[in-house]
Amino acid sequence: MNIAEMQDKFFSKRAKTLLHHPQGMGNYFTFKSAIDILGLNWDDLLPNGVYNVTGDGYYDMGYMANHIGPPDSAIKAFKEHATRAEMAVYPPDCLPELKALVAEHKFGRKLGPDFTVMGVEGAQGGIGYTYMTYLGEGDEVIVTDPAYFHFVPAAEACGASVKAIKLGKHNGYKLDPKEVEAAITPKTKMIVVCDPINPFGVVATKEELLAIADIARKNNIVIFNNVTHNTHQTDPSAKQIPMASLHTPETPMDHVISVSGISKGYGMPALRVGFMAGHPGLLRGTFLIKMEITKIHINYEGQYAALAAMQDHDYIEKSTEIIRRNYKHIEETVAKTDGVTIPVKPQYGFCMIIDISGTGVSAQEISTALLKYKIATITGDGLGDVGATEYIRLNYSHPDIKCFELFREALPKAIKDAQTGMYKDGVIKFFEGIGSDRGNEIVKQLKAK
């Protein structure tokens, strides 16, 4: 058998679901795809196999690592607990003091008989465990389009099907309760409420959250509330509200599973520390699945680092100032650049979308050209059908203003290069090699131009 035949023979249904999925890792366009098109050396941009671009002179505005990095208090706490004794034991699921802090600080609710927190391997681990616990064959999940890369493929790998609500100006680039209610069928099992929403960074109002929670409660649907990006307030006038915090006897939130982590807010993705929260009875299923699959608790030293970071208010204040400065710089750059717009101003976090549809070329061609000028970005096809060739997602967390000065110089140059058509064949070849339905549609669009 050749490799393709072996994949067909040996892969599980779950793996086959992801093999050519448009949002499966490696199947959507990123700066890594551009590396090959430009003929660059991977080791020069991604030394030691890291996921983020760290090569000399390059700036990563693609993957959602917090480039500000961790607070000094977290590093100090990590070092203090990197002892022989603490490395020689299986760690606790979640330190009691950390569990209590996370409950209130990230989810806005106190621990009690009807609410608890458990540790998972980053917010990403929380996504996987949530889906594995609550989804099965034949279930339907309501998600947005566009959405975070892994919301759709992970659900489908569990046997569920996805009903996507398209985001745009008409609904403020976030879930509209009326659209959510209209999407519900007898098979609906889960509603994914990513708030702040990746990739736009906008947040839902209290009224919208209560309405969605009420709709789900009446229809016996579980809500997955991902609040990963709620640490940094880009827009001082905005207020993000965790759904768990809305729990009252009149509006119970026992059907809400909440997830967060320390990668985005506190710049520590390497530690793989995250949290799930909800009713102990519902988290019992997650605990059992987690123990049978990984059997280990989250990084012990990392838990102490997280504890220190969440109490470092000076760090949050200073890092928020950096993020606000950077967004303003990008806003000014876009205003100076023909054919580029910002669909909606981000309110929280440090991810945003620029729409390049007015340039007459694809996001993938511009992204390739941007890497030529040492700016790494990710395009919209990894986030959904909406904006697949029009959107570029930007990470604006880098502490060095030179990143954004270079982006200002690079963007018009990249557009001009892309308009020559010099990268079209390389982009087409990439998607033809993947063979996904979304990629094939992009190939048709590019060949028609």
* pLDDT tens-digit map of 185-203: 999 999 999 999 999 999 9
- Give the pLDDT mean for 419-427: 97
* pLDDT tens-digit map of 326-362: 999 999 999 999 999 999 999 999 999 999 999 999 9
Angle at Cα 153 formed by Cα 427 and Cα 362, nearest 5°?
25
pLDDT band at 48 (very low <50, low <70, confident <90, very high): confident
pLDDT band at 41 (very low <50, low <70, confident <90, very high): confident
Cβ proximity of 394 and 356 under 8 Å: no
- Give the pLDDT mean for 223-246: 96
For residue 193, report the phi and psi dihedrals to the nearest 5 degrees. -115, 95
- Give the pLDDT mean for 79-105: 94
- Give the pLDDT mean for 286-296: 86
DSSP conformation letters of 265-330? HHS-GGG--EEEEE-HHHHHHHHHHHHHHT-----HHHHHHHHHHHT-HHHHHHHHHHHHHHHHHH
What's the rounded Cα separation, in Å, for the pair 418 and 360? 9
Q: Give CB contacts under 8 A, 24+ apart, made by 203-208.
A: 203/174, 203/230, 203/238, 203/239, 203/240, 203/241, 203/347, 203/348, 204/174, 204/175, 204/241, 205/241, 206/241, 206/246, 208/174, 208/175, 208/176, 208/177
Token reading at 265: 């807010």
Could you tell me how many residues make up the chain?
449
Q: What percent of the chain has pLDDT over 90?
A: 83
Give, rounded to a whole angstrom, the gap between the first and last alpha carbons of the chain.
40
What's the rounded Cα separation, in Å, for the pair 449 and 418? 13
- Exposure string of 292-330, with b = 16+ CB inside 10 Å and e = fewer, is eeeeebbbbbbbbbbbbbbebeebbeebbebbbebbebb
What three-state secondary structure class fits 222?
A: strand
Report the pLDDT value the prediction gives residue 174, as an integer from 0 to 100: 97
- Give just the sign of the alpha carbon dihedral 193, 296, 106, 244: positive
Q: Which of 323, 311, 342 is nearest to 411 (CA)?
A: 342
- Give the pLDDT mean for 199-217: 98
Q: What percent of the chain has pLDDT over 70?
A: 100
Token reading at 121: 């391997």
Mean pLDDT score of the chain, rounded to an integer? 94
What's the rounded Cα separation, in Å, for the pair 32 and 442? 18
Report the pLDDT value the prediction gives residue 443, as an integer from 0 to 100: 95
Please determine, for residue 52, whether its predicted confidence score (pLDDT) is greater than 80. no
Q: Which of 52, 16, 119, 40 is nearest to 378 (CA)?
A: 52
What's the rounded Cα separation, in Å, for the pair 51 and 8? 29
* pLDDT tens-digit map of 118-136: 999 988 889 999 999 999 9
Report the pLDDT value the prediction gives residue 351, as an integer from 0 to 100: 95
Task: Tell me the pairing of strands 161-166 and 116-120.
Answer: unpaired
pLDDT band at 42 (very low <50, low <70, confident <90, very high): confident
- Give the pLDDT mean for 106-113: 96
* pLDDT tens-digit map of 137-174: 999 999 999 999 999 999 999 999 999 999 999 999 99
Please determine, for residue 271, whether its predicted confidence score (pLDDT) is greater than 80. yes
What's the rounded Cα separation, in Å, for the pair 14 and 159? 8
Report the pLDDT value the prediction gives residue 54, as an integer from 0 to 100: 75
